[in-house]
């Protein structure tokens, strides 16, 4: 059987997951992932052609009414950088940060 995951696929998946993989991590990770994915791939031999996937029980949404909740300060209190009640991020549209 061929390899399930190669270096290029790992790099692609890591970029999708916004994870930087260091060159030292790459080898061991590839080995682990190959074995884990090889193990879970055994499901391919289970016949699921007759399976009807049931939807989970309907969740009940509460009425969309204003109520007690977190204050803006409490909600944003964990952000690493804040200004005037907003989180601060790098300029996402290109150009210099303020």
Judged by the rule CB under 8 A, the positions of this chain that interact with other proteins are 5, 9-10, 12-22, 25, 29, 32-33, 35-37, 39-44, 46, 48, 51-54, 56-57, 59-62, 70, 74-81, 87, 89-92
CB of 59 to other proteins, least distance (A): 4
Tokens of 86: 């907003």
CB of 80 to other proteins, least distance (A): 4
CB of 40 to other proteins, least distance (A): 4
Tokens of 69: 């909740």
List of residues 6+ apart from 7 with CB closer than 8 A: 26, 30
Q: Rounded to an integer, what distance in angstroms lies between the CA atom of residue 28 and that of residue 33? A: 9
CB of 62 to other proteins, least distance (A): 4
DSSP 8-state secondary structure symbol assigned to residue 42? G
Q: Which is nearer to other proteins, 60 or 98 (CB)?
A: 60
The answer to whether 87 and 76 have CB atoms below 8 angstroms apart is: yes
Give the length of the chain: 98
Q: Which is nearer to other proteins, 2 or 80 (CB)?
A: 80
């Amino acid at each position: 059987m061929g390899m399930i995951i190669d270096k290029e696929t790992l790099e692609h998946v890591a970029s999708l997951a916004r994870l930087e993989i260091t060159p030292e991590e790459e080898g061991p990770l590839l080995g682990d992932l190959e074995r884990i994915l090889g193990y879970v791939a055994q499901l391919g031999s289970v016949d699921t052609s007759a399976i009807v996937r049931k939807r989970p029980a309907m969740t009940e949404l509460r009425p969309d009414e204003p109520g007690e909740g977190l204050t803006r300060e409490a909600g944003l209190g964990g952000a690493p950088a804040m200004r005037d009640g907003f989180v601060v991020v790098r300029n996402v549209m290109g150009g210099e940060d303020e």
